[in-house]
Structure 1
Amino acid sequence: MINITSLLFPKRFSLLKSFSALFLIVSFIVRISLYIWSIQSIEFSFVDLIKIIGIGFFFDFGTLAYILAIYGLYWFLFPRKFYGNWLDKILINFTYFLLVFVFVFAFLGEFTFWEEFARRYNFIAVDYLLYTYEVIENINESYPLPLLIGIIILLTIGAFYVAKKQDVFVECYNNEDGYLRKIIPYGFWVIVAGVFHLYVQNNQAEIFSNRYQNELAKSGVYSFFAAYNANELDYDEFYKTQSKQKSLEIVQQSLLDNGDKILSEDNILRSIHNTGKEHKPNIVFICMESMNANFMEAFGNQELLTPFLDSLAHKSVFYTNLQATGTRTIRGMEALTLAIPPTPGRSIVKRPNNNNLFTVGEILKEKGYSRTFFYGGDGHFDNMNGYFGNNGFDIVDNPKENNSSNEFPTQRIPFTEEEVTFENAWGACDGDIYNKAIKQINIQHKSKKPFFNFIMTNTNHRPYSFPEGYINDKPGNRISALRYSDWAMKRFFTDAKKQPWFKNTVFVIISDHCAYSAGRTELDVSSYHIPALIYNLPNTKPHEVNKLCSQIDLLPTLFGWLNWSYESKIFGKDITKMKPEDERAFIANHRKLGYRKDNKVVILNELKGSKTYEWNAEENTLTKTESDETLEKETIANYQTAYELFKNNKLKIKEIH
């Protein structure tokens, strides 16, 4: 009879066998411990307990397969003649210690996570990993951190001791297992990992009517990576809800202006009506990296950081009270193109099933526009190319070597080597991006078709590097990067004014998000105020608009200025038509969902909580106040409806008839 254990774990893999046993045993202990902890929330059933253990083992086994497929690559590839030499011993001891340390930490962390959320790891845990400083500070304030680290190290050393006692290290070093002996066991784990990756979803563990049982049947580590892949938190599970139909009705009514009409009972599909002659100028949309409103002289800054942008604001329709929806570039892209309130988790730009959405691009397409996304780096970062390419935009980017292929149904145009005079980790500098844009726009102009170009800048981002010789400041800090970015924009407009398409082109300039907005536990209201302006509008005098509004409103407002009538599935509104009682802004991070009207702010949290605050703009403080039932319902309605429509594919193009 074939010994399955020996087949899957030859002598060279003895340490992997020891780790596998440790991983499965500890996973079982954690599951049973959490079950006992939650017994009052579960109606005990022996049959259900066996199911939980069985399903749990299945997912633990899949998690183990992933680990061994990755970690086992070293064990498989390392040549037999070097087994047990000094390099082999150092690598094995170090990597095994690190692996055990990480998983001991993960297993212990499951108890604190369960205490707070009564769930296995989800996107909240992913968020914790992304913002390590805040998390470590929180742990340090809540628990004796040195003691915890000491316990983890002791447990890791204990695992080492057990492995040593079993002579598994000796077996790893002293054997004659070659590639043929290792190919079957390593191949097995790779195949199992592949099957799980392709065919096993984390929610398949949810076979019970009791939420606690569903969570216990999962594997914490597997759930963590499933959440990372999905990039979202389930709104219904974690946030305050109300009748979905009531929420939809509140949103539908809030979106209607004079002459507009709802076209669907289960959607926000509506007809937008504007009077007067439609204008179809070219549109150049510049999204500035990390540009706070308070960097501009228009908002009181005296350091002359953005003299050109300030001069342009005086010649434009200048929106002085517009708020970003989030704290990341891709959240800004989502708001500006999809015009949707930010749903919990990551931006839709990074989520699965984000193709063929009803973006502003569909409205532009209906009006006969070409649509192109410009980026100075490799647009595969943060799935920008995937989002834009699968939603009808051509792509102009600066791909890394051997990564210039185009897998999207639209055109991909790379920067050439000659077009990149300076780049850092984020890609080409702003000057190069604008130069490429001018060149491409000149080509577009020859087609006699109106164009919409979304240009994403780069320079105002750490490490704040840029080509020297154009401004007096030296690279390496945000102040100098801002001045260079402003200089590059001035040169772009100087060049653009020489082109035949300039007079018939509207320029929209806005920031993706604020700088210094890294705090993730609460919302810093002042860190969402960004500049926005529309320049060169036909038949429109420059003026300021002081209405409180959101990133999601800027392009719908432009369409209003152009007198467009169209069908829409976007949440953005025409700022020009807003009445004082309609003014509002969405501000959020990965987990906190804020809704602001005047200086009153409602914040929804991931524990189904809701708090109402009064915001003091001068001191930038939030003071808890009595809840406003109407405002709270409005807040829930917008966020709940946005989540439901995206989840149920009702923001897809095919819904439009």
Structure 2
Amino acid sequence: MKNYFKSILLFFKRFLLVLFIYQICRFLFLYFNKSAFSGLDLKVFLGGIHFDLSAIAYINILFGFLHLFPAKFIYKKGYQKGLKIAFYTVNLIFILTNFVDFEYYKFTGRRSTFSMITASGMENEIGGLMLSFLKEFWYLPLLGIILAIAFWKVIPTFSSSIPKENTTLAIVGKQTGLFILIMGFLLVLGRGGFQQKPLKVVDAVNYGSISHSALVLNTPFCILKTIGKKETLEAKSFYNETELQAIFNPVLELEPDSDALKQNVVILILESFGRENLQIGQTPFLDSLVTKSLFFENGFANGKLSIDAVPSTLSSIPSLMNHSLITSSYSINEIYGLPKILKDNNYYTAFFHGAFNGSQNFDQYCKVAGFDAYYGKDEYEGPEAFDGNWGIYDEEFMQFFCTKMSTFKTPFFTSLFTISSHNPYKIPERYKDKFPKGNTKIQESIAYTDFALKKFFETAKKQPWYNNTLFVITADHTSSEPTAEKFKTNIGKFRIPILFFNPGNPNFGGLNFRNFQQIDIMPSILSYLRIKAKMITFGKPYQSEKDFVVYYLDNIYHYIDGDYYMAFDGKKAIGLYNFKEDELLQHNLLNSNDAIVTKMEQFIKAYIQSFNQRMIANKLTIN
């Protein structure tokens, strides 16, 4: 039995070594993202160990079997050498996935899942981007190499001098009993304990505030929980159909009392233009446009990824899943968004994105959404302007966009998604030192795209369609690494600029302080144009008295109504704040405002139930 006990001891030494490395990774994650976390306590790190143990147990259950199977061959030198190499290789791969989030978390605000790690929707550009990222974040592969070497140096090895032992039926029975016991222990550890359901990503909120979830989690755990899984929403039954319709009904019928305006519509979606970039000297043109537009001071994104912004903005469908709608199992659901509605009103429709064709699966979504045409890098016509990473620089692609629109029959509806203010934030060499560097890495490229936007409008003003066009400008999501504390909260990290500009109607403008989100853009445009339509929208027109915003991150629903912000875990509220008075969300009012909690819980439950039911049943259109 001595050799068998040696095998048990060896396995658990290796297991504990991996657990120790996970703690190193957590502290490195905290170091690289220290500005994102405050008010930490021991509970956060103890919770982290809970999730680490679960991930490590799942990853190593096979190695537990191979270490401890009661048979003589497990003591052979060749077998043990192969087992050591396999254990080291598999665990190192999972450990290094944490390194991705040391920097990537700044962009997404959450731990990476399987689809993020595998770059779903970015297959064409991943080669060039990988080289760029390795160059910019050179210290991450260097740290990874150092850790890999240290891991190999200290990983315990089975003793090479193994005295032979007699094997009796009693010994085999004892070994088998220990084997079953330890394998059972690993299974329990992997599921996170004896609770009714296995440990889930959302359970991270039990170990600290909502904003600490990413620190509690580890990337291997999030990958394991999403690997090979398509998004499958759970049908909710909080209310019967009558109650549901009374609380929240996504069917909107527009019945204008005058003729439609028949104006062109141009939506510009600016990459990473978080609200924190405005009015600090980086965006002089956009700042000036704000004064001539209807500007929503409390504008919010409905997601943290570029791929979330298109369905939200163009089809009024929020991102309330762990996958974007575009890459989920519901990606081919029938939708009736702006392209189809405006097409039904004799508009020509086109979508422009200067990146590689197929990037973010936007071309696929354009077909589902009903656009007449899609223009990507392949369709670009103009001077050489490839940035070496993503696609065509914003200045040249915007000029191409403007020129192309002048060939379209009117009225037309177009949308452009910019690319230059995306990591690695490359701008043309001729503009080196022309724009202010700002306080963060992104802000020079933000200034460049603002300049490109100015040049676009200078060209557009000369076109015959300009004064009969409604321009809508929004961001896809916020920037990474904001400097102001108020933009680091679960409110601030979704704040974006949203404005409506009509050069032919100078009286249309002013500041609007209602809560406004990307999914409100579609019904607002249709209402402004006085288009008769009946649609499914999870937003509301800008004239509405409703004042809600809903978005989703880290398995938590984030719901704003009026002055209040609620975090909801799918079953119950876990936080309530008056975000107008408490910008940094430091005072949880959950236990002192029962009436508000009850009212807000009622709405968010109905909202989730309606969204899930319609998504599952493919009922995003009116029959």
- TM-score per shorter chain, which class? 0.5 to 0.7
SS of the counterpart of 2:356? coil
Task: Describe the shift of the 1:610–1:97 C-alpha distance in structure 2 as closer, same or farther (beyond 3 A).
Answer: closer
Residue number in structure 2 paired with 1:281: 263
Cα shift readout 1:572-608 (whole Å, capped 9, x = no counterpart): 21111x22xx211123324221111123111112676
| TM-score computed with the length of structure 1 as normaliser | 0.59
Looking at structure 1, the residues matched to 149 and 239 of structure 2 have their Cα atoms a distance apart, in angstroms, of: 49
- Contact kept, 8 Å, 2:380 with 2:397, in 1: the verdict is no
> What is the Cα deviation at residue 149 of structure 1?
11
Looking at structure 2, the residues matched to 614 and 161 of structure 1 have their Cα atoms a distance apart, in angstroms, of: 65
Q: Does structure 1 residue 317 correspond to structure 2 residue 304?
A: no
- Contact kept, 8 Å, 2:114 with 2:226, in 1: the verdict is no
- Contact kept, 8 Å, 1:247 with 1:640, in 2: the verdict is no
Task: Describe the shift of the 1:128–1:479 C-alpha distance in structure 2 as closer, same or farther (beyond 3 A).
Answer: same
1:472 to 434, 452, 459: 434
SS of the counterpart of 1:546? strand
- Contact kept, 8 Å, 2:320 with 2:551, in 1: the verdict is no
- Contact kept, 8 Å, 1:419 with 1:436, in 2: the verdict is no
Looking at structure 2, the residues matched to 319 and 105 of structure 1 have their Cα atoms a distance apart, in angstroms, of: 43
Task: Describe the shift of the 1:424–1:149 C-alpha distance in structure 2 as closer, same or farther (beyond 3 A).
Answer: closer
> What is the Cα deviation at residue 285 of structure 1?
0.7
- Contact kept, 8 Å, 1:341 with 1:571, in 2: the verdict is yes
Looking at structure 2, the residues matched to 249 and 161 of structure 1 have their Cα atoms a distance apart, in angstroms, of: 72
- Contact kept, 8 Å, 1:324 with 1:528, in 2: the verdict is yes
Task: Describe the shift of the 1:288–1:95 C-alpha distance in structure 2 as closer, same or farther (beyond 3 A).
Answer: farther
Residue number in structure 2 paired with 1:536: 502
Q: Does structure 1 residue 415 correspond to structure 2 residue 380?
A: yes
> What is the Cα deviation at residue 492 of structure 1?
0.4
- Contact kept, 8 Å, 1:517 with 1:527, in 2: the verdict is no
Residue number in structure 2 paired with 1:369: 347
Residue number in structure 2 paired with 1:126: 113
Q: Does structure 1 residue 486 correspond to structure 2 residue 450?
A: yes
Q: Identify unmatched segments of 5+ residues in structure 2.
A: 1-10, 16-57, 63-81, 97-109, 119-146, 162-194, 201-219
Looking at structure 2, the residues matched to 161 and 433 of structure 1 have their Cα atoms a distance apart, in angstroms, of: 65
Residue number in structure 1 paired with 2:324: 347
- Contact kept, 8 Å, 1:231 with 1:345, in 2: the verdict is no
Looking at structure 2, the residues matched to 497 and 288 of structure 1 have their Cα atoms a distance apart, in angstroms, of: 20
Task: Describe the shift of the 1:94–1:434 C-alpha distance in structure 2 as closer, same or farther (beyond 3 A).
Answer: farther
2:91 to 80, 96, 101: 101
Task: Describe the shift of the 1:286–1:442 C-alpha distance in structure 2 as closer, same or farther (beyond 3 A).
Answer: same
Looking at structure 2, the residues matched to 308 and 228 of structure 1 have their Cα atoms a distance apart, in angstroms, of: 44
Looking at structure 1, the residues matched to 610 and 411 of structure 2 have their Cα atoms a distance apart, in angstroms, of: 34
Q: Identify unmatched segments of 5+ residues in structure 1.
A: 1-21, 27-59, 65-91, 107-122, 132-147, 163-209, 216-220, 254-267, 400-413
> What is the Cα deviation at residue 212 of structure 1?
5.9
Residue number in structure 2 paired with 1:249: 245
2:272 to 287, 290, 300: 290
Task: Describe the shift of the 1:495–1:645 C-alpha distance in structure 2 as closer, same or farther (beyond 3 A).
Answer: same
Cα shift readout 1:222-274 (whole Å, capped 9, x = no counterpart): 996793555536445xxx96225366314545xxxxxxxxxxxxxx4442222
SS of the counterpart of 1:388? helix
Q: In structure 2, what residue type is equivalent to 1:284?
A: V
Residue number in structure 1 paired with 2:231: 232
Looking at structure 2, the residues matched to 104 and 498 of structure 1 have their Cα atoms a distance apart, in angstroms, of: 56
Q: How many residues align?
A: 441
> What is the Cα deviation at residue 396 of structure 1?
0.6
Looking at structure 2, the residues matched to 154 and 251 of structure 1 have their Cα atoms a distance apart, in angstroms, of: 61
- Contact kept, 8 Å, 1:335 with 1:342, in 2: the verdict is yes
Q: In structure 2, what residue type is equivalent to 1:321?
A: N
Matches within 5 A, 1:69-80: none
Looking at structure 2, the residues matched to 154 and 234 of structure 1 have their Cα atoms a distance apart, in angstroms, of: 45
Residue number in structure 2 paired with 1:6: none
1:549 to 516, 532, 544: 516
Residue number in structure 1 paired with 2:615: 646
Q: In structure 1, what residue type is equivalent to 2:407?
A: I
Residue number in structure 2 paired with 1:454: 415
Residue number in structure 1 paired with 2:374: 395
Looking at structure 1, the residues matched to 393 and 153 of structure 2 have their Cα atoms a distance apart, in angstroms, of: 49
Residue number in structure 1 paired with 2:598: 629
Matches within 5 A, 1:6-25: none
Looking at structure 2, the residues matched to 159 and 432 of structure 1 have their Cα atoms a distance apart, in angstroms, of: 63
Q: In structure 2, what residue type is equivalent to 1:392?
A: G
> What is the Cα deviation at residue 327 of structure 1?
1.3
1:503 to 433, 451, 467: 467
Looking at structure 1, the residues matched to 504 and 601 of structure 2 have their Cα atoms a distance apart, in angstroms, of: 40
Looking at structure 2, the residues matched to 358 and 224 of structure 1 have their Cα atoms a distance apart, in angstroms, of: 33
Looking at structure 2, the residues matched to 482 and 573 of structure 1 have their Cα atoms a distance apart, in angstroms, of: 29
SS of the counterpart of 1:454? strand
- Contact kept, 8 Å, 1:324 with 1:586, in 2: the verdict is no
Residue number in structure 1 paired with 2:127: none
- Contact kept, 8 Å, 1:358 with 1:570, in 2: the verdict is no
Task: Describe the shift of the 1:329–1:95 C-alpha distance in structure 2 as closer, same or farther (beyond 3 A).
Answer: farther
- Contact kept, 8 Å, 1:419 with 1:432, in 2: the verdict is yes
| TM-score computed with the length of structure 2 as normaliser | 0.62
- Contact kept, 8 Å, 2:351 with 2:416, in 1: the verdict is yes
SS of the counterpart of 1:499? coil
Query: Kindly, what percent of the aligned residue pairs are identical?
Result: 22
Looking at structure 2, the residues matched to 161 and 380 of structure 1 have their Cα atoms a distance apart, in angstroms, of: 55
Q: In structure 1, what residue type is equivalent to 2:299?
A: L
- Contact kept, 8 Å, 2:573 with 2:601, in 1: the verdict is no
Looking at structure 2, the residues matched to 455 and 592 of structure 1 have their Cα atoms a distance apart, in angstroms, of: 30
Q: In structure 2, what residue type is equivalent to 1:248?
A: L
> What is the Cα deviation at residue 422 of structure 1?
3.7
- Contact kept, 8 Å, 2:330 with 2:616, in 1: the verdict is no
SS of the counterpart of 2:369? coil
- Contact kept, 8 Å, 1:595 with 1:601, in 2: the verdict is yes
Looking at structure 1, the residues matched to 148 and 159 of structure 2 have their Cα atoms a distance apart, in angstroms, of: 16
Q: In structure 2, what residue type is equivalent to 1:344?
A: M
Task: Describe the shift of the 1:467–1:224 C-alpha distance in structure 2 as closer, same or farther (beyond 3 A).
Answer: closer
Matches within 5 A, 1:508-519: 508-516=472-480
Looking at structure 2, the residues matched to 155 and 234 of structure 1 have their Cα atoms a distance apart, in angstroms, of: 44
Cα shift readout 1:85-114 (whole Å, capped 9, x = no counterpart): xxxxxxx999846543358979xxxxxxxx
- Contact kept, 8 Å, 2:266 with 2:472, in 1: the verdict is yes
Cα shift readout 1:49-83 (whole Å, capped 9, x = no counterpart): xxxxxxxxxxx9xxx9xxxxxxxxxxxxxxxxxxx
Q: In structure 2, what residue type is equivalent to 1:594?
A: H
Q: Does structure 1 residue 587 correspond to structure 2 residue 557?
A: no
